[in-house]
Structure 1
Amino acid sequence: MCGIVAVYDAEGAGASAEVAAGLKTLRHRGPDAQHVWLSPDGAICLGHARLSIIDLAHGDQPLANEDESIHCVVNGEFYDFERIRRGLEGRGHRFRTHSDSEILLHLYEDLGVECLRELRGEFAFVLWDGRRRVLMAARDRFGIKPLFYSRTGERLLFASEVKALHAAGVPAAWDEQGFLETFSAMYASSPTLFRHVSAIPPGHYLLSRDLGCSLHKYWDFEFPAEGNLPERRDEECVAEFGAVLDEAVRLRLRADVPVGCYLSGGIDSCSVLALMAKHAPGRVRAFSLSFDHELYDEGPIAREMAQRTGAEFTMIPVSHAGMAADLSDALWHNESFFLNAGSAAKFALSRAVRDAGYKVVLTGEGSDEVLAGYAFFRQDMIRHASNNGGAAEAIERLRAANPASGGLMFTTKQVTPVAGYVDRLGYFPSFLEARKAGLEALRALLTIAYETDEVLTRLLNRVDIAGQLTGRHVLNQSLYLNNKTILPGYILSALGDRVEMAHSIEARLPFLDHHVVEYTRRIPVDLKIRGTVEKYILREAMKPMLTTTVYKRQKHPFLSPPALLKPDEPLHALLQDTLRGRALDRVPYLRRTEVAGFLDRAGGLDVAGKIAAEFPLMMMLSACLVAERFGL
């Protein structure tokens, strides 16, 4: 993984100084080398901060093709690149390095923008075609790697992180609508939290000629219509899924540095570890977090799984004091708000992994999003299957079995379905119920005027309903919509790339290999959720390699113990001091009197109420700290 900065200057004034300034803010993403290329006419400047993982000696960027008419900078990894390289060499292409990134240049020479369909992995890149005078910027299918852009005067700027755009000359300021989208956890690619800054959406590429810009989609989930889902034997699907996941893990072990594993007590990371142990040439090292609260600590389960696979196990204990100390730095790297301090815990985990001498880990992120792991997906299935008979009792049992999910995934409040969803889809997705309840509760805290249903309906207005949702099974519709919001906007950033690359750690995600995802979209939905058992196909495919505890355990979302549950700890003190102090004045969208009243009431809530209150409180705390760190 790396950091990239690029400037397209229509007047040819050159932007080496601005790109170099941006690269300085990305040194954490690429501590091993930083280089800049400026086109002879001054129109294009590409910068790259390198984290060396493959071809350590010769893989520096920017890269160029044989006649230097095409240049690029790449952040990420292309898997199975050696097979692709052999094919390109057979067609006459000559390579300068042994880096995986170089295949991009030669695939583009042969295929143009269609080269994206040949790329397998996590990536973001900017490419300049000097012959056609076209700039191309693209992001992987799921948004694992970030890529932002901004138009400032006669310049188009790109960077892996917003702070690099600010350093390169884009003024730092709040965007009011972006604030609301982020605060409501809807996570639009545009507007973002910052004014004049947009993100290239997952599965899209941008083309620019003479500073004119156009966005194009090259990939989407493409769930088949409900009547077109094939009837398949369980055993056949389980075997096929196991094979494609096995390949995804095996390909991600390719590196010229050691590869470790992030391990929790969940079936996702435990499955990844088991497959790593099968393919790795030596003993795998697994790293796990531990919390001092029974409801949130998965350490003992992770340790048992590590013993099962013969992995070397390292436990990293995290306290409220540690999360309080790390929170501001973690937010500076994340450039958005946290729903829970667990992101600061992941920040500490990545620091410990770096200090242990690792640059690369495999993780289990993405499984819940493609195999319907979250409890709200089971709620949708219960409602869809029951025709209202017994649904209420089944949902109550589901919520009782998921006490840590209150407020984030479930709400106890009566929520009226949003008409736009009912009219166009025939139902209101369960994952949006808690969002609606939260938006209603937050109305008094915010100075921004909004209609809750209108905010939620914006998501529908951003997607291709006819092409991606109409006629699909309810579960696949919910998966699709969830994966357009919280997956790229939170899971892959606040719990992924940003807190990992903060400490120069490249995470690789086998469950978001597009071959894995494209297989799961074709399977019957009851292989995702069977009865009340989520991720059924994964459980059956991995059963021989898992501990009984992991095989039988239901999904537990990764969360740290809420600050309100430990009122004598530093995290609670940080929350109180910040939201009652002068820092709140930096956020013009929060009402001081109402925020103080919310804090007062939250202290008197029962445990379930305090768990639910964690999410708006952490969002407000995040807003204050982001404003402070970015000078907003």
Structure 2
Amino acid sequence: MCGIFAAMTRHGIASDRCDAALKLLEHRGPDGTGIWTSRDGQWSLGHTRLSIIGLRNGSQPMTSPDGAVHLVVNGEFYGYREIRERLRADGYRFSTESDSEIALHLYHERGMQAATLLRGEFAVVIADERQRAMYAIRDRFGVKPLYYAVVDGDVFFASEIKALLALGVPAAWDLEGAIGGIGRSHEKTEFAGISTVPQGCYAIARDGGVRIYPYWDWEFPTAEQIRADTRSDAEIVEEFRAALLDAVQQRLVADVEVASYLSGGIDSCAVLGLAQEGTQRPIRAFTLTFDNVLYDEASIAEAQAKHVGATYHPIPITGREVADSFADAIWHAETQMFNGHGVAKYLLSRAVQAAGIKVVFTGEGADEMLGGYPYFRVDALNNDATLSASEKSAFFDEMLGANAATRALLMPEQVDS
């Protein structure tokens, strides 16, 4: 990951504020920093780099050949090589090997329609001096963070809220945002006046304001389309496997080592297995291990790593370490945590970084996409008329076996007051 910020002001911004914001983002990108400021001093872009592709010559901010458009990127574009070759065939010249540069030329070619061609996990800010506008794009699933605020006609974007505060955005709590943080289904944050650019959207900042536009969304089949689908279960499974394999292979493209998180779940195990198929060297797989056998999945993870030919690296942690690291994890996450999972992931990430790794597969997202969480059972019970009596009973028993907090959300009538 990298760190980015952008400031679009009416009367300029002090350089020490930009330096402070950049300093707060250095932990995201320790391999280099850069700042661009417009000639009138009213606009600034900042970047802290974690170099993954184009290690030698991918410094940012980047500027178009005519000097009118400037860009900062946090993240990675998948399939960038094919896009770069097409752009080269169309006459565009590249000065770096970085995947980020394709966004600069795609914008010149297509304007904001370029967003529809970008695949990956990214947050981009483009400053166009000719148009007197800034454009901020967030990836389709909101993997990379991108926050913004408008203060007295000045507009700010950043990878982290703390950088916005350093740029001069006032710090104040937003109660509605804090309550919404339980599900975080909207763009508000816990901080008044600070919002996220929604996933699959781009923002246009102009004349002291920001407007949001969607460029991508899920295309869910209708009930009629599902009923008319003639594919067999085997065909659907094979299509899913092909799509997952393609996604894994796209993420193996890097000029640095790619490792993997590994638990005992099918999601990270499947991703590691497919990743190992796509590379010649053993992938380093990192697993958190616990002294409490109720949470420890080390034996399954170790067996899976051995099975696919990866190298197994256990990271032992204790409950005391989780408690002691809670504040640090919150500082990085900049949002509420309702259990120790986020803290554990923070400790795992810290250990992986100490091992010299910059890129990992996480194996996350399978439960969201494939209905693994208990709350999907509630939806199925309420709305799926095809469930048999035995399936309904199994779903109900599963929810009854959840912890009290989960039961309170899913089955409030079943929880003692």
Report the TM-score, using the length of structure 2 for normalisation: 0.94
Match of 2:208? Answer: 211
Contact 1:138 1:205 in 2 (8 A): yes
Contact 2:290 2:317 in 1 (8 A): yes
After superposition, residues 462-501 of structure 1 pair within 5 angstroms as none
Greater RCO, CA 8 A, separation 6+:
1
Q: Does 1:200 align with 2:197?
A: yes
> CA offsets per residue over residues 570-597 of structure 1, 9 Å max, x none?
xxxxxxxxxxxxxxxxxxxxxxxxxxxx
Match of 1:191? Answer: 188
Q: What amino acid sits opposite 2:81 in the alignment?
A: E
After superposition, residues 162-177 of structure 1 pair within 5 angstroms as 162-177=161-176
Match of 2:4? Answer: 4
Tell me how far apart the structure 1 counterparts of residues 323 and 164 of structure 2 sit (CA, whole Å): 28
After superposition, residues 131-170 of structure 1 pair within 5 angstroms as 131-170=130-169
Contact 1:149 1:158 in 2 (8 A): yes
Contact 2:60 2:72 in 1 (8 A): yes
Q: What amino acid sits opposite 1:281 in the alignment?
A: Q
Tell me the secondary structure at the aligned position of residue 66 of structure 1. coil
Tell me the secondary structure at the aligned position of residue 35 of structure 1. strand
Q: What amino acid sits opposite 2:184 in the alignment?
A: Y
Match of 2:74? Answer: 75
Match of 2:291? Answer: 292
Higher helix share: 1
After superposition, residues 423-442 of structure 1 pair within 5 angstroms as none
Q: What amino acid sits opposite 1:298 in the alignment?
A: E
Paired residue for 1:224, among 199, 217, 221? 221
Tell me the secondary structure at the aligned position of residue 71 of structure 2. strand
Deviation, 1:188, is 4.3
Deviation, 1:388, is 9.2
Match of 1:630? Answer: none
Match of 1:352? Answer: 351
Match of 1:385? Answer: 385
Q: What amino acid sits opposite 2:406 in the alignment?
A: L
Deviates more, 1:79-88 or 1:150-159: 150-159
Q: What amino acid sits opposite 1:50 in the alignment?
A: R
After superposition, residues 334-349 of structure 1 pair within 5 angstroms as 334-349=333-348
Query: What residue ranges of structure 2 are gaps of 5+ in the alignment?
Result: none
Deviation, 1:173, is 1.6
Deviation, 1:374, is 1.5
Tell me how far apart the structure 2 counterparts of residues 386 and 240 of structure 1 sit (CA, whole Å): 24
> CA offsets per residue over residues 201-247 of structure 1, 9 Å max, x none?
11111112222321101111121211012231222222222112111
Paired residue for 1:407, among 399, 405, 408? 405
Q: What amino acid sits opposite 2:193 in the alignment?
A: H
Contact 1:80 1:120 in 2 (8 A): yes
Contact 1:6 1:19 in 2 (8 A): no
> CA offsets per residue over residues 264-319 of structure 1, 9 Å max, x none?
11111001100111011211110011122222211111111011011110011111
Q: Does 1:370 align with 2:376?
A: no
Match of 2:267? Answer: 268
Deviation, 1:411, is 4.4
Superposition RMSD in Å: 2.0
Q: Percent identity of the aligned residues? A: 45
Deviation, 1:406, is 4.0
Count of matched residue pairs: 413
Contact 1:15 1:45 in 2 (8 A): no
Q: What amino acid sits opposite 1:69 in the alignment?
A: A
Tell me how far apart the structure 2 counterparts of residues 236 and 352 of structure 1 sit (CA, whole Å): 40
Tell me the secondary structure at the aligned position of residue 338 of structure 1. coil
Q: What amino acid sits opposite 2:212 in the alignment?
A: L
Tell me how far apart the structure 1 counterparts of residues 214 and 187 of structure 2 sit (CA, whole Å): 15
After superposition, residues 5-154 of structure 1 pair within 5 angstroms as 5-11=5-11, 13-154=12-153
> CA offsets per residue over residues 1-54 of structure 1, 9 Å max, x none?
20001100123x245332221111111101111110001222310000111111
Match of 1:394? Answer: 394
Q: For the structure 1 residues 42 and 276, does the alpha-carbon distance in structure 2 shift closer, same or farther, using more than 3 Å as the test? A: same
Deviation, 1:341, is 1.2
Deviation, 1:119, is 0.6
Deviation, 1:390, is 6.0
Match of 1:324? Answer: 323
Tell me how far apart the structure 2 counterparts of residues 245 and 124 of structure 1 sit (CA, whole Å): 23
Q: What amino acid sits opposite 1:215 in the alignment?
A: I
Q: For the structure 1 residues 81 and 29, does the alpha-carbon distance in structure 2 shift closer, same or farther, using more than 3 Å as the test? A: same
Contact 1:149 1:156 in 2 (8 A): yes
Query: What residue ranges of structure 1 are gaps of 5+ in the alignment?
Result: 416-436, 442-632
Deviation, 1:387, is 7.5
> CA offsets per residue over residues 375-431 of structure 1, 9 Å max, x none?
33234324423689567633332235x54x54236645318xxxxxxxxxxxxxxxx
Tell me the secondary structure at the aligned position of residue 221 of structure 1. coil
Contact 2:77 2:121 in 1 (8 A): yes
Q: Does 1:279 align with 2:270?
A: no
Tell me how far apart the structure 2 counterparts of residues 349 and 387 of structure 1 sit (CA, whole Å): 39
Match of 1:242? Answer: 241
Q: What amino acid sits opposite 1:217 in the alignment?
A: P
Tell me the secondary structure at the aligned position of residue 34 of structure 2. strand
Tell me the secondary structure at the aligned position of residue 28 of structure 1. helix
Q: What amino acid sits opposite 2:166 in the alignment?
A: A
Q: What amino acid sits opposite 2:4 in the alignment?
A: I
Tell me how far apart the structure 2 counterparts of residues 255 and 392 of structure 1 sit (CA, whole Å): 46
Tell me how far apart the structure 2 counterparts of residues 240 and 15 of structure 1 sit (CA, whole Å): 54
Deviation, 1:144, is 0.4
Tell me the secondary structure at the aligned position of residue 77 of structure 1. strand
Tell me the secondary structure at the aligned position of residue 364 of structure 1. coil
> CA offsets per residue over residues 86-143 of structure 1, 9 Å max, x none?
0001111111110000100101111111111111100001101122222101111111
Tell me how far apart the structure 2 counterparts of residues 55 and 312 of structure 1 sit (CA, whole Å): 27
Tell me how far apart the structure 2 counterparts of residues 137 and 329 of structure 1 sit (CA, whole Å): 28
After superposition, residues 557-596 of structure 1 pair within 5 angstroms as none
Tell me how far apart the structure 1 counterparts of residues 88 and 168 of structure 2 sit (CA, whole Å): 41
Contact 1:14 1:38 in 2 (8 A): no
